[in-house]
């Protein structure tokens, strides 16, 4: 199967929307880590942060094939409280 070297514009927009959503999810999980006291929940949130970070990296690599690009911030949210 041929893999296109460039995404269609609608595919790029869809990936950009998913990137925005995953970034918001990452920020929420990172923030919530500082607010919870249950260690199991904190561990789940930490795992979610790690998995979401990997997902974002994979989506960014795919987004490189977009015919147009908007910059994706490199910074990642960190928990406000430890």
Please write the tens of the pLDDT for every residue from 29-65: 999 998 999 999 999 999 999 999 999 999 998 888 8
Q: Is residue 52 part of a domain?
A: yes
Q: Tell if the pTM clears 0.85, that is, is over it.
A: no
End-to-end CA distance of the chain: 48
How large a percentage of the chain has pLDDT more than 90?
50
Q: Is residue 42 part of a domain?
A: yes
- DSSP character for 2? P
CA distance 37 to 40: 9
Q: Is residue 30 part of a domain?
A: yes
Q: Domains in the chain: how many in total?
A: 1
Q: Is residue 41 part of a domain?
A: yes
- Please tell me which residue, 60 or 81, carries the higher pLDDT value: 60
| Helices 39-63 and 9-33, axial angle in degrees (round to 10) | 160
Confidence of residue 1 (pLDDT cuts 50, 70, 90): very low
């Amino acid at each position: 199967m041929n893999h296109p070297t460039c995404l269609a514009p609608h595919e790029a927009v869809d990936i950009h929307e998913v990137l925005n959503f995953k970034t918001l999810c990452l920020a929420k999980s990172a923030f919530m880590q500082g607010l919870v006291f249950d260690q199991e929940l904190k561990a789940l949130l930490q795992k979610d942060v790690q998995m979401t970070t990997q997902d974002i990296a994979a989506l960014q690599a795919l987004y490189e094939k977009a015919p147009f690009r908007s910059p994706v911030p490199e910074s990642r949210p960190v928990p406000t409280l430890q």
